Amino acid sequence: MSGFILLICFIIAIIIMILMIAKFKVHPFLALMSISFLLALIAGIDLTKIPTIIGDGFSGTFKTIGIVIIFGAIIGTVLEKTGAALKLADLVVRIVGQKNPELAMLIMGWIVGIPVFCDSGFVVLNPIREAIYKKISANPVGMAVALSAGLYAAHVFIPPTPGPIAAAGAVGLGNNLLLVIGLGIVVSIPVLIASYFFARYTSKTVHIEENTCDEILIKNYDDLIKQYGQLPNTFLSLAPIFIPITLMALGSIIKIVGFTGSFAILISFLGNPIIALATGVIFAILLLVNTKKISEFDTITNETLKIVGPILFITAAGGVLGKVITEAGFVEYIKQNAQVISTAGIFFPFIISAILKTAQGSSTVAIITTASIMGMFNVGDSLMSALELTSEIAAALTVMAISSGAMCVSHANDSYYWVVTNFTKLTPQQGYRTQTALTFIMGVVGILTVYLLSLILL
């Protein structure tokens, strides 16, 4: 099959996959697997090789990043269930103060959103937002936009949330999550600044009825604290997140400096993402003990695995699609036309991710699928290679570009859109003026930041 026909087949396959997920409500796992199989048949791949290709693409994901996703999700769930997420939020409010409610919400959401899913993070932190705006008579809409932005930026840019972890593994950075975390923090800062000014703007332009404001004040902050009992201490609230990051940082330093000896071997071992996050889980268990909720650990683990399971399977199915794309010769066609296609550079994964996000609604699915299509930076037959993104820093920037695209845009087919609008009591029209416009701004600022960084770093 000629390269051009293969390219057309690939585009049609992506369109069909989007329709299956967005219009016909087929689960992304089944959509990815079926499209992978059909694309393999149409591309003329030897029938005897297809089962092996599917098996290799599927198992490769679990081998590289599956355990890390599970550990990261367990940490996030424990922080949510023990009230440690609230403790982190409380710290932010104390530091920033109540005179800057939008800034407080933005930073609070960003910190809590690193380990906690943005949907559940908004639900957990929303009562704090309500209590603050009632106390200081601030516009609840601007505060909701800021909270949504902080949570969303951390959700798509910074591991250990599953999307960026899976993307890191797919592009070959499974053993260098610290680079992705660091770059995620850097890219999210301009995004957060733009979001803050947009939140301030919406505080002046978008309002909800006063009686509606009163209806949603179900509980104040004190009532929320009572719901969790006594909040954990500051160290145990921070430890499950920051100790793994510290260990990974030390492991990277040892690797870069080239230290040898028993101590260096120990630090390298502890700095491996799997071991570092396992250490985070240990501190999460200590957090459960401290809050007298250790008896709930089995339930929390089961709940987490139910949430993470579909993500893992979607990630693995994305790996299958990436493997089929490679075996079909699509990457080879890209390489033959590299002068034309490589001009898109870092914008190529952004566009693919943005199309997937807008069409089917899930940022995680968009991130995982796009990263799987891109392939690993250190493999010669991948799209990363075809686009000349062949270094670790290029791979990390690619993850950031994919994540930026996965923001554009949150609208009616996205569960997060409905969480934000319903808890804020916005009409759908107001939701498009706030949440949808916000995520478009965040995505555009994100990719522009990535592009500027690529000019400096690549």
Residue 62 has pLDDT above 80, yes or no: no
Measure the CA–CA gap between 287 and 128, rounded to whole angstroms.
22
Query: pTM of the predicted model, to two decimals?
Result: 0.78
pLDDT tens for each residue of 345-360: 899 999 989 988 887 7
pLDDT tens for each residue of 254-284: 876 778 889 999 999 998 888 988 999 999 9
pLDDT tens for each residue of 147-160: 999 999 999 999 88
Measure the CA–CA gap between 299 and 190, rounded to whole angstroms.
39
pLDDT, mean over the chain = 85
Structure tokens at 201: 């703007």
Residue 61 has pLDDT above 80, yes or no: no
Measure the CA–CA gap between 246 and 280, rounded to whole angstroms.
11
Three-state DSSP at 13 gives helix
Structure tokens at 410: 């949150």
The dihedral formed by the CA atoms of 55, 61, 63 and 64, expressed in degrees to the nearest 10 = 150
> 41-55, 187-201, 316-330, 367-381: which range is least confident on average?
316-330
Three-state DSSP at 349 gives helix
pLDDT tens for each residue of 5-17: 887 887 888 788 8
CA 363 to chain CA centroid, nearest Å: 7
For residues 76 and 142, the model is more confident at 142
Structure tokens at 213: 């404001």
> 139-143, 361-365, 440-444: which range is least confident on average?
361-365
| Residues 274, 244 contacting (CB under 8 angstroms) | no
**Cα R_g (the chain), whole angstroms:** 22
